Chains A and B, each alone.
Chain A
Amino acid sequence: MARLNDDAQWIILMGFLVSFSFFFLALVINQSTVVGQTTAESVIEFPKTDIRDVKQAIGQSMKTNDLVTVKDDIKFLSMNRKGSVVDYWNFTNNNTTFIRIHYNNGVTEYNENWSYV
């Protein structure tokens, strides 16, 4: 029986290396698009600007001429136009105003205490 010719083993090995590298490059392309999608989805879902915005409005509302009406506005419109539960409580002690905020849109819940002079 004729002996199997094994002259070009190195060439075959290099061929395997190249094909495996293509395989892993394809894997990288595949994963990179998923990363872009999931990142964008979570950025859209997380209400970062909503919370900042409502916090700013609540801070500004402390200097208005009718705190009760403005508070009702913020609570009512948050529920009806933004689908989120917003509530806050404030009191002033020794010229420092303390505010406690509650925010919940069903996905993200956020609570914060802050104070200013």
Chain B
Amino acid sequence: MKNSDGQLYTIEGFAAGLIMLMTAYLVVNATSIYTAGDTHISDMQLEALGSDALTIMSTPTDPPMYISNTNPLRMIIESDDEGKFKTMFLNLTNNRTGAPLDYSNADSTMDYIQFNASYSCRNQNTTAIFPLSYSRNLTGGEHTVRATKWVIVNKSASFCGTTNKDRAVLVEVLLWRD
């Protein structure tokens, strides 16, 4: 005679197996999405950090003077001060506790945010792009994000088709982590 005693236990076993399979599926699925999500999150944070640094740099030290010469970023562009931009930007983006970083040492084993900055202006109907400053050359393999900032400058000499006129230029910074 066929024995049908353990039917309930068999059904229970199937149910438990299905639950375990579903759980494993959800967990594996979650880790595979995590990689893509992770890139977006760090990109967003790096972009926000770069924008904040540029905003700090273009804040006039004498607040009431809207477009005055006390705007550090404006002064940097007007004098093409590559070194000052590098020092300010690296300090603002890499500030942390502990010993200060040695930016001058390219072989430094320390991990810090690198950048490559330029600014563009309009010359008649073309865009002219000038290099501003960089912490290291781009090799093409970096995963960079871009932060931009508008600055109104007046480079006394002939600049982008005009002389002694206020011009709006766009500062663009590519930044990445090594």
Contact = CB atoms under 8 A, between A and B. Distances in A.
B110 interface: no
A30 B66 contact: no
B17 to A, nearest CB: 10
B99 interface: no
Contacts of A81: 120, 127, 148, 170, 172
B43 A77 contact: no
Interface stretch (B28-36, B86-94, B100-108, B135-143): B28-36
A117 to B, nearest CB: 14
Interface residues of A, number: 45
Contact of A29 (B16, B26, B66): B26
Q: Determine the main DSSP class of A at the interface with B.
A: helix
Nearest to B145: A44
Interface in A64-106: 64-66, 69-70, 72-74, 76-77, 80-82
B22, B43, B67, B162: residue with the most chain A Cβ atoms closer than 10 Å: B67
Contacts of A16: 15
Contacts, number: 124
Nearest to B168: A73
Contacts of B37: 33-34, 36-37, 40
A45 B120 CA distance: 23
A27 B34 CA distance: 14
A74 B127 contact: no
A1 B131 CA distance: 92
A20 B26 CA distance: 13
A22 B23 CA distance: 7
B166 A64 contact: yes
B167 A70 contact: yes
Contacts of B149: 53
Contacts of A40: 37, 40-41, 43-44
Contacts of B5: 1-2, 4
B66 to A, nearest CB: 5
A44 B36 contact: no
Contact of B43 (A44, A57, A64): A44
